[in-house]
Amino acid sequence: WWKERRTRSEEAVHRLLHFTERGLFEEAIASGRGAHDPVIRIFLNGLSHHHFSLEGALEVAANAELRRMKRSLGVLDTIVTIAPLLGIFGTVTGILGAFGALEGQIPDPRTVSAGIAEAIITTVAGLAIAIPTVIAYNYFCAQVEEASNHISANVTNFQILYQKGKQHPLEPVPQDR
């Protein structure tokens, strides 16, 4: 996520939108080439396929970016789900061990307390893993949601400016060489 945040370049996005609004699509593509910003990658995919289906190309690229952002969330979700279950499993085996120690004629307090300790330790371990993981999971889900909203707003703006540029294209400004 930190890398994702650092790759955002509002200046490069605005430059690409500026060219797009003026109908200078080749210049827009050139200005975004090599960028790591996910929004620019989406725009470039749209511009590369604008003769066929601008909206379709933008949607495919946006979905790919969002899938890439969500790729590790499943691991966190699995940890959040399994950690408490493993804690409960340890609790059950610890309690069974404690009850097993009580079955004898004269129960050994050390064996009973060892089973209870196992139950408590595994419960604490499961919670100690699950609690920070659920915090991280929720944080990253919120980041994906924020990125999704950011992408959606930018794509809508891009589509509007593209239509404007398509209707009233300007001639490219000659570059001094």
- The larger pLDDT score, comparing residue 111 to residue 62, is at 62
Write out pLDDT tens, residues 38-93. Answer: 999 999 999 999 889 999 999 999 999 999 999 989 999 999 999 999 999 999 99
**CB neighbour burial string for 143-164, b if at least 16 within 10 angstroms, e if fewer:** ebeebeeebeebbeebeebbee
Nearest to 100 by CA among 86, 91, 89, 111: 111
Q: What is the pTM of this model?
A: 0.77
pLDDT value of residue 177: 45
- Are 87 and 125 contacting, i.e. CB atoms less than 8 angstroms apart? yes
pLDDT value of residue 110: 83
Domain boundary assignment for the chain: 2-71+148-167, 73-139
**CB neighbour burial string for 42-64, b if at least 16 within 10 angstroms, e if fewer:** bbbbbbebbeeebeebbeebbee
